Amino acid sequence: MEALPRHYRTIPDFSRLRCVVRQSRRHGLWIFAWSIVGWVGTALAPVLSGTPFLLMPLSPRAMFVALAADSVPLLPFVLLGTLRLSVTDASYYVIGRKLPSEIVPDSARWRVLVLPSER
């Protein structure tokens, strides 16, 4: 086995990160699969515009949800919309819980990266 390049050796806890990536592969595939379903739903939107309640679970974009709002009763609308929007949330949670704390930026560094201070 070859030695890791120098820039990899400077990443804190790199071996643990590799382990997390390997363990999270199925969650990543689950998220990827639902992303593909959303893209297909968006691509089929012109064809499925006559049946918006079928379009909503494929691609729960705000416009498609608004189209489906008057085609079904409230309870199925809320249940199906909530289920579809939360189908990948558990995978994001599991991946986030496994990430080493060294990879997730602390709040002070994050503020500097996202919101530069005004001078």
Six-digit token string for 13 = 């806890």
Six-digit token string for 64 = 């498609």
Cα 77 from Cα 56, distance rounded (Å): 9
Give the pTM.
0.66
- Number of Cβ atoms within 10 Å of the Cβ of 68: 21
- State the alpha helices, DSSP H only, in the chain: 6-9, 14-23, 25-43, 45-48, 52-58, 62-68, 74-85, 89-98, 107-114
Six-digit token string for 10 = 């400077």
- Number of Cβ atoms within 10 Å of the Cβ of 60: 19
Six-digit token string for 59 = 């691609």
Cα 22 from Cα 15, distance rounded (Å): 11
pLDDT in tens, the chain (119 residues): 566 555 555 555 667 767 777 888 888 899 999 999 999 999 999 999 899 989 998 998 888 889 899 888 999 999 998 998 899 898 888 888 877 665 655 555 555 555 555 54
Handedness of CA 74, 42, 50, 66 (dihedral sign): positive
